[in-house]
Structure 1
Amino acid sequence: MTTRQRQLARPWGSVCCLLAALCLSPIAALAETFGGAIEDGKAYGAAVNSDMPNASTLPPESVPGYQTSAPPEADYYGNPSAIGDAANQAAAENPAAQAVTEGFVSRPMFTIDQSTDPMFQRMGQVEANAASIAGAMQGEYSSCQPVVLETPYPPTREACYENRLTENQTCSRKLVVACDPETDGCDAGGIVPGSWAGDMKVALMPGSNGDFILQFGTIADNYWGGYGAVYDRTLNFEITDANLINKFILTRAAFDDWLLIKINDTTVYVGPYGGDRLEVVTSEGGWFQIKQVRYCATCYGSPELGTSWNFALNVDLKPFLREGPNTIFMRTVVAGGGEGAIQITTRQKCPRNCHDTWDDSQCSTLQARSQ
């Protein structure tokens, strides 16, 4: 048996002797008063403590759980901020600390409205009808009676503090642009209003189904004269965006006797027989001159055809348009009497209205948590 065990055995022996004495003389051992019992207890405790060893003289190794006289926490004495840094470092590697931190960041947030929440509504009902609710109880509470407190309990106030670890989180906002459906036929066919200028009558007028008609020349009869006479006319206009024009078609030619049309120096029509040019050539015939119309390298005809032509055409001029200034050239060859005019059907895409909105779906969760 060790010394410590022998020392602890003495008070147990004393207790056993005391219990035996109490059993033999129960009436004599009982204190007569409450104060006497207190004094008896003090005397017994003093007797037991006198046999206990002095803790200040015991070796540290005898204390349960003792490890060292120089724990690492002693380094934090006088440097309180260092213990906080060490705690944060340890928390980053400790699963339990990480679980607590993630709970602070990701746990759902709730707002309780005391005016509508069932818990608070029921509490108010119970408070307002305490007597009836207490009377409705059965069993051991059936005899309860309401008591009116003349002096109410003083109110108490309790506070708690919650610390959240700060962290930087980012989100992206997207700019979403939506445009109205594409339509056409709502303006002047892509030609800049007021930009046309010609040495004959020029008119831009609405057509059907959103088309516009650009007319160059007067549709009439025999307002020019001569034999083999050449009348050259030019129409200038401007286009802001040729890509918006989806129709620019030569749809009508009314002339007498011959007609040639160019757009930006490209020949697009020769009538009435086709060809690639239109010019009047003169040859000597003895004492007089002979005039002929040449409309291809080997194609000739008389200046006078005796007909006022009025053709419905479908010649696509859009491939020959360009941004900015454009020129339409018209040549008419007349014999006796004649005229010349054309019509172009145009159509342009309408401007589209676009609206932009910010998509905050990626940031809404973070914004709600920051409130």
Structure 2
Amino acid sequence: MKKGKQRVLTLAGLLAVAVGALADPHSEGTELGKSTLGKLSSNVTSANAKSMPFYTDTPSQSSQFGSSSLFTVGTSRINSCKTEADGPDAIANQECDAVNFLAKNPYERVKVDVDENDPIISGIGEIINNAKPDEITESCGTKTTTTPDIYSTEVCNEYNLSDQKICSMGQVVDVDTKANFQCNVTQNALETVSCDKYLVLSCQPPIAGCTGSGIAVNSATISNGAYQFTLVGSALTIVNNVTAINEVTEADFNFFIAGLDRVDEFFINAIHSDNYVGIAVNGIFIGVHGRAFGGWNANATKLVQDTNYSPPHARWSDNPADHYKAETGNNLKTSEHIDLIPYLREGSNVINIKVLNGKGPGYGMVYITAHQQCPPECEETWVDQCSSYEQRSL
């Protein structure tokens, strides 16, 4: 008998250990919450509620208390939230944000078919069918009394210390027709990102050998020592100081152009003659300058010395009758704009200048403006930081 009793006690001890092993932190926490429910509920009072943020005795919804149609109330709020602007309080704005979201996305929310035999439906039907007078207790709401005819608004405070519920954004919940679930979840989440598209310009030094005048460095020479030239920036001046009387002197100004397509200016801006200056570019005679005809004469085909007269005469055509005396009096300087680009060529070029003087010392001066574009070599590259986001939106 003693041995049998010892076995029974041992089995009971094992059961106690097994039951203790089934306990878990969640269950222990739930039991602790239930045991302190009474103490916590005593703190839920009207006085304590007034110290909570956003508490009010007159909420905006109080005007709808006692309404005969919840559908009318909901429709009214949907219409007002369509045009209601956000206020300074971000938390207060959440109401219309939620109303607008639900009103605009009725077909995107998860829909669940509920069978008529679902415990939720059958349970409610059983309660309604078995309801008896005086067994319904009202906890909150608006009450209207007719004796006396007085209206009052009552404020109630509700609290819920039930188990914690968690719903995760982006999680898909599969349910059947008999399942009870605690929240609907969305399959899409909004994300605010920023990105840039910008142009990067990378430039290298200008083209090698490019000059501001278009005349290659160290390529300009003059064939007659009586002539001189100066080239400063885009200003070219060719000068002949003549001492010979009644004679034609001439010189070739040779130079090299690299990049004729980038030469945007090459023109004679002024001529000073005493007594005649004739100009040819790359073998093409372009005219004569002199006081006898008031400045530049583009119709002249030559400037030669006519020895049939004494003193010799100047001639600018093949017709012996078309001539003037070499000495015409005072010198003449005029501003001109004679474009030389049509006569230029890539590579070697030559400008021939003839000067005819009469009785006294004379000279010829030709002023030229020359300019070549020397842009840096640049490459444009677009940097697109948004392409990955655009692919995600497809």
TM-score band w.r.t. shorter chain: 0.3 to 0.5
Structure with bigger helix share is 1
Structure showing greater relative contact order (alpha-carbon pairs closer than 8 Å, 6 or more residues apart) = 1
